[in-house]
Amino acid sequence: MADKHLFQSGTLNRLALKNRIMVAPMTRISATVDGVPGDRMKHYYERFARGGFGTIITEGLYIDEAWSQTYAFQAGLVNSRQVAGWRAITDGVHQHGGKIIAQLMHAGAISQGNIYRRDTLAPSVVQPRGEQLGFYHGHGDYALPVEMSEDQIQQAIDSFAETAARAIGVAGFDGIEIHGANGYLLDQFFTDYTNQRHDRWGGDIAARLSLTLAVIRAVRQRIGHDVTLGVRISQGKVNDFHHKWQEGEAGAKQVFRLLAESGIDYLHLTEYDALQPAFADNALSLVQIAREAAPSLTIVANGSLSNSRAASQALEQGADYVALGKSALANPDWPMRVRDAAALREFDNNLLAPSADVKNCELA
């Protein structure tokens, strides 16, 4: 079959994966108000394992009881009740033959539902673009953030590392993904217009990546060298959808080389359409640029890879794995359907309306 490469087994560090098909991280705001995942989320994640996905990357989990929570009803991984809820989920996914990676995140300036704090932190005092997201229970402008102190930056780094150790050692996850994409804290440090610092955390594109690299080092030190560790980066943001890195291909290659040297096991690249040119003056996709810059780095591609043809094309462009979002929501058995040449369901936008929580129809 033309998509046979999608069903080849693979490894991420010492983690054995049965195929190249992952569930992308998607924020579904279905925990309790205090961040505890329950049976609803357990059934939601188990469906993907039953449906044949080799790997599931969770929605972003907040990492402290301070500034990191991003959305109301978002799950955390910072206290015993939250950890116990996730342990039930990881056990369920494992019972159905799947692997599950915890994505860890910090909101930074674009928090819109934090139960612990009303104020927000960011690299610089810059008003976030856009408005809060209605389908995540937000409304109006984002708050003007406070510039992070060196102590607060170190606290954030420590929180990533401590939560990663908790995820692996207690909650039963198979790996860690650091969320450095989509406009959240690490991406705010990486982005030119949101990072106006003149210390070691600001400057050119390599300097702006330094916080993400520091988080990678701290997490790796806590979880050891045998545990799968990845990082997700992007150009677009939830509050600035069309953003492009101003340094273009040259800057992207510099970033990919630095990440390849950082000790991660995979790089998760997310674009609106992973197959399309990354920059207006170049025909190469971000996956193709990353593959050229970092030949030995494992790449996960995400973005509009809804059918087997598009997913296979991403592998042909240089990705090692594909991560599916909306198509996985519409088809929690996507791998089985593709394997059996069955028709795929179209995504229904009502699934994320009026809010993005998990719906009863998804659990039927």
Do you find a cis peptide bond into 37, omega within 30 degrees of 0?
no
Whole-angstrom Cα distance, residue 147 to residue 120?
A: 9
* Beta strands at 10-12 and 15-17: parallel, antiparallel or unpaired: antiparallel
Q: Which residues contact 154 (CB under 8 A, 6 or more apart)?
A: none
Residue at token pair 């809804």: 306
- HEC string of 255-293 equals HHHHHHCCCCCEEEEECCCCCCCCCCCCCCCHHHHHHHH
The H or E element spanning position 28 is none
> Active site residue: 45, 71, 184, 266, which one?
184
Give per-residue burial for 55-76: e unless 16+ CB within 10 Å, then b.
bbbbbbbbbbbbbbbbbbbbbb
Whole-angstrom Cα distance, residue 328 to residue 83?
A: 25
Active site (annotated) includes residue 184: yes
Whole-angstrom Cα distance, residue 310 to residue 3?
A: 10
Distances (CA, A) of 289 to 11, 174, 202, 278: 23, 29, 24, 9
Coil, strand, or helix at residue 164?
Answer: helix
User: Which region, left, alpha or beta, applies to residue 304 given φ > 0 means left and ψ of -120 to 50 means alpha?
Assistant: left
- Cβ contact 294:255 at 8 Å: no
Catalytic residue numbers read 184
